[in-house]
Structure 1
């Protein structure tokens, strides 16, 4: 239930105890990210230096001529305008700002900003992802080269540090809790994207399977540390020995062919 994917059963109901959340600072910033390496590195530094009441992500796509643009979506857990602006200022300085929107908004409104309507299945067919500790100069340069090639239509760097790292890595199936960022890249050419992403693997702590579409056999081993995977496979053998639940990266390889 806490990170093992769709391998162990079907959830039929959830019961939540919700914590009330009020107004928060909600910022959407557009940048000239033509210095793509520097932009990625400075975003990483700003996010790691930010207090825990700040979270967010950046999104980049293919370049437009020589120009590269980026969007940051940032949330500040405060309803004090001065605090919000203070928290956002380091992010506003990482690259030339092209547009900005900063507002106080109910947290529920921020969460509900996704478009409604049916899904027509028109997304790009291939995605790769990984959890990393830092957007180092070396990793940022490699990501910039990949982005500037034009083969990636969507790239996201999402902050995942903070309270996530307070939980011991062996407490749940979701591990690699020392990571500060989750990276995702999407493209149309699976072979090309695999080659590009494989070159980054030395920087990657592990895989988050929900953002991974690489069917090769080591994804499960990259998602779960050895001791965690051993526990999950023992549980799988006990509760689903025939491999009924085998989609989205089977924990036991033989189950994929069952």
Structure 2
């Protein structure tokens, strides 16, 4: 009798961990030839680290070299930002790179990259000066403002739709050190947010702040509300003076230090092995906002108060983020001054259907005033949402670029741009 097949066990993807660009080419050509799904994983931090049940999974972790040439740094497509920060610190340099050490250079950069130095140096893509790309046809091409400039433009915020980036070239910045403030909030969160909003309207661009209010179950951050601030120089007294309107508020406890830049990047537990469980579901969303008006602030504070498993996260924009013209990159909403995320963990047994519906309704009210959605914080594939991640002009241009470089939509395991 023939061996039986257990239909309850889903097929597993074919996992490939190339050590060379040539091996990346082989996998891409195989996926194209066999017309199977291709999942590209850079750092393994985001939602696409959970591969589809079939097809090919391309993990770039072995391509993680970091080479510094003056202030230009060449970074392999599988590197993670914690390693980049460590390597650049030895040269007195840094890049604005997000806030988590384990995040992959590839995913964060291709989606834009809002980081701790966004007001000082802009997005990660604003520091990108070139890239090596394996295209859907299996060719290896260079992309920059001079070589394949339209592809280069699309890589700067258009996501992983256009090829596998095996090398990123960035212009790094001198950074002798930073000052860091941690403000634990035990008082009126709305008052803190209003004061922070008013302060950031005219604050020096050396200052970038993050507000986070999370439940005890969030493993990535201490529970409760806190406002963290990075000053892009080792000047704690300057940071203390700038933050004075916030630290003078009742219920705000402040500590200012001068850590290494690498040390302010969060350490987030990573899945262990291919059989690691997926993280819990998340009900919510995010947006890029022109400002934090009083109504939005009240909605955010009320949302966090109403749902014990909820998370509210904000990051200041402006400064260098505004210096880049809207048409210069695919990233949306260059007039935004704030990034805002609000949602709740969908813990099994903790939320009922009525609560889920209430969370979604309140979340929709929060998102109503956004200028655009930031794709790097959107954790599921939602084809209907892609138009909200780009300006209409950018989306038209991205579709035209997609038609040139990936007309068969091989690279579709992302926030997919359709021709």
Same-fold status (TM-score > 0.5): yes
TM-score, length of structure 1 as denominator length: 0.84
**Larger displacement relative to structure 2 (216-225 or 159-168):** 216-225
Distance 1:243 1:188, change over 3 A: same
Aligned residues: 245
TM-score, length of structure 2 as denominator length: 0.54
Q: Quote how far apart the aligned CAs of 1:87 are.
A: 1.5
Tell me the residue number matched to 1:74.
229
3-state SS, counterpart of residue 327 of structure 2? coil
Contact 1:22 1:106 in 2 (8 A): no
Residue number among 150, 160, 164 corresponding to 2:307 in the alignment = 150
Q: Quote how far apart the aligned CAs of 1:78 are.
A: 2.9
Instruction: Structure 2: give runs of 5+ residues left out of the alignment.
Output: 1-154, 217-222, 347-355
Residue number among 211, 216, 219 corresponding to 1:58 in the alignment = 211
Q: CA RMSD in A?
A: 2.5
**Larger displacement relative to structure 2 (22-31 or 118-127):** 118-127
Residues 101-112 of structure 1 correspond to what in structure 2 (within 5 A)? 101-110=255-264
Tell me the residue number matched to 2:368.
202
Distance 1:192 1:114, change over 3 A: same
Q: Quote how far apart the aligned CAs of 1:9 are.
A: 1.2
Larger Rg: 1 or 2? 2
Contact 2:175 2:233 in 1 (8 A): no
Tell me the residue number matched to 2:281.
125
CA offsets, 1:3-42, max 9 Å, x none? 1112111111123342221122111110114x33333222
Distance 1:62 1:186 in 2: 11
Tell me the residue number matched to 1:7.
161
Q: Quote how far apart the aligned CAs of 1:142 are.
A: 1.4
- Greater RCO (CA < 8 Å, at least 6 residues apart): 1
Q: Quote how far apart the aligned CAs of 1:88 are.
A: 2.1
Tell me the residue number matched to 1:139.
296
